[in-house]
Amino acid sequence: MPASLIGAAFRSSKLNECYLFVKERYVILDYNTLRKDLISGPVDIDAGFPMFSKTIFKRGIDSSFETDGNVAYFFSKSQCVKTDYAPRSGPAAARIVIGPIEIVEMFPSLVTTPFANGIDAALIRHNGSSEVYLFKGNMCCILDYKSNDVYNLINITYHYPAFFNTVFKDGIDAAFTSHSGSEIFIFKGEHCARINLAGEFIGGIKRIHDDWPTLRGII
């Protein structure tokens, strides 16, 4: 199984910007430019998110997803935290809203699922609902983070048939949806891809260092 290069990702509330987490550091990039221009970083997680300084999250983020405004959820091992990451006000304004607590305390519906002790990747579709896709190994499910309902716990290739016979058939490391809502960026090991909302590849599977050249020397 390829080693994870991108540990987690989420879409910023700022247009065309995304956060990518690499071990104990993170970067902010403009994903809509050819080279994926660097906006900020790399910096230590607890420098940009000082509220994580005494938590497990300073040592790495396993997965994350953004919701309304500046609110984002982060996962590390079996723990979860809900935050206001305050991208326009600076790190000093960032704060924890709930947590750190166990994933199953934040989302009790996950207690009997593979996601109870950790989540590899999370993806919110921004389709007007509060549904987020969770990934763990070759399994995925849909979680309504507001109602705490979970459903469609299935193999990732049943939900995304295009992943058959690709590096993504065994799971993904990180993902986020573009601000247009029409494309999803996914990462696995040294590979990445864009897919549309039907789960079809856009431009094929590429190496991260080729498609995101700004990350060379960072990961």
Which among 83, 57, 152, 76 is positioned nearest to 118, based on CA atoms? 76
Number of folded domains in the chain?
Answer: 1
Residue 3 lies in a domain: no
Can you give the CATH number for the domain in which 50 is found?
A: 2.110.10.10
Residue 1 lies in a domain: no
* Residue 76 belongs to domain spanning: 8-215
- Mean pLDDT, all residues of the chain: 92
Q: CA angle at residue 201 from 199 to 203, to 5 degrees?
A: 160
148 vs 69, which has greater pLDDT?
148
Per residue in 107-117, pLDDT (tens digit) is: 999 999 999 99
- Residue 2 reports pLDDT greater than 60: no
Q: How far apart are alpha carbons 103 and 80 in whole angstroms?
A: 5
pLDDT of residue 88: 65
Q: Pseudo-torsion of CA 120, 65, 174, 41, nearest 10°?
A: -120
Q: How far apart are alpha carbons 49 and 57 in whole angstroms?
A: 9
Per residue in 187-198, pLDDT (tens digit) is: 999 999 999 988
Residue 2 lies in a domain: no
pTM, whole model, 2 decimals? 0.94
Residue 67 lies in a domain: yes
- Residue 125 reports pLDDT greater than 70: yes
- Mean predicted confidence (pLDDT) in 75-86: 93
* CB-side neighbour CA atoms (13 Å) of 184: 23
